[in-house]
Amino acid sequence: MTQNVRWGILATGAIAKKFAEGLRDARGAELVAVGSRSQDKADAFGKQFNVPHCHGSYEALAADADVDAIYVATPHPQHKPAASLCLEGGKAVLVEKPFTVNAREARELVALARAKKRFCMEAMWTRFIPAIVRVRELVASGAIGEVRMVAADFGFRGGLNPEGRLFNPRLAGGGLLDVGVYCVSFASMILGTPVATTGAAHIGQTGVDEQAGMVLTYEGGKLAVLYTAVRTQTPVEASILGTDGRIRIHNPFFKASKLTITAGGKDETVEIPLRGNGYNYQAEHVGQCLRDGRTESDIMPLDETISIMETMDALRAQWKLRYPME
């Protein structure tokens, strides 16, 4: 595959638009199709982003022979059925985070992708931006010694709309799955799979977690201390703390462009600007994987995605937060 990856986008909400904007800055990628349950919405989206193929059903998008890869941009509970449809249609899929509602769904979706031998990845876009690539390089180089702790937070104050996706249990709402996943995934990227999890959440009036704090334990007593919220604005920063130094990822850590590396008794702050809105990098990574004939990413592997969902399942079980569709 040497030509551009021909992308389709499944669903037309806010995150679909961000990804479409990102594709404008992604090398080796073009947006050729969009699918919605409503032809009007598909057409409106298509007009906004100059998309040639506007499908009035997800099925039609999944069957579009001119599409190589599909970005699944639905609310969480539709990720698995929509991604499955695309895999069945022979497409590569990039599935908006969280990958699925829970680990059971994630395992099933991964099994399908592997059976179909199709590329599949969770769209943890922050992992592909240059500042975070640099963070991984710094950690791997031993710049801060052995990592002992990771801290991260992501919380914002959303308006309390009981029907909206953030607060509606039927849409798998709450802070953990929407923004906490960035923190859990960040900890996973640095420390791997935890051996124990604990935490506490405030389950609000709509029955989802409005704010939560989490402590994850890893081999050798490494720890991740995380917090998240959808009714409380937090600093939105992350720190990696090692035996010989530390790295601070400044606000907003999920779209990082500024790092402070503290080692050898001095602070160095570096700016690593983003090209585009940041969503472009993951699209380029998917393109590289497809050109390389790979069905999984080495940066955001499917087994790690399952592990992240298992961690979030374990936390929700402690909080007795179960969604109606589970």
Q: Which is nearer to a copy of itself, 146 or 303 (CB)?
A: 146
**Sheet containing 196-203: which strands, arranged edge to edge?**
196-203, 209-217, 223-229, 147-155, 238-242, 245-249, 258-263, 266-271
Q: Which is nearer to a copy of itself, 36 or 211 (CB)?
A: 211
Q: What is the DSSP string of 261-273?
A: EEETTEEEEEE-P
Contact set with a copy of itself (CB under 8 A): 148-149, 151, 153, 155, 157, 196, 198-204, 210-217, 220-227, 229, 231-235, 239, 241-243, 245-246, 248, 262
Q: Which is nearer to a copy of itself, 248 or 285 (CB)?
A: 248
Minimal distance, residue 233 CB to a copy of itself, in Å? 6
Q: Which is nearer to a copy of itself, 118 or 222 (CB)?
A: 222
CB–CB of 245/145 below 8 Å?
Answer: yes
Q: Phi and psi dihedrals of 96, rounded to 5? A: -50, 145
- CA-to-CA distance for 92 and 109, rounded, in angstroms? 13
End-to-end CA distance of the chain: give it in Å, rounded: 39
- CA-to-CA distance for 83 and 123, rounded, in angstroms? 12
Minimal distance, residue 27 CB to a copy of itself, in Å? 36
- Helices 302-319, 181-191: crossing angle, 10 deg rounding: 130
Q: Which is nearer to a copy of itself, 126 or 211 (CB)?
A: 211
Q: Which is nearer to a copy of itself, 27 or 157 (CB)?
A: 157
Minimal distance, residue 141 CB to a copy of itself, in Å? 19
Report the relative pairing of strands 196-203 and 209-217 from DSSP bridges: antiparallel
CA distances from 285 to 41, 100, 127, 129, 309 (A): 28, 21, 10, 10, 22
Minimal distance, residue 320 CB to a copy of itself, in Å? 13
User: CB atoms < 10 A from the CB of 126, how many?
Assistant: 23
Minimal distance, residue 217 CB to a copy of itself, in Å? 5
Minimal distance, residue 244 CB to a copy of itself, in Å? 9
Q: Phi and psi dihedrals of 234, rounded to 5? A: -115, 175
Minimal distance, residue 45 CB to a copy of itself, in Å? 31
Q: Which is nearer to a copy of itself, 239 or 277 (CB)?
A: 239
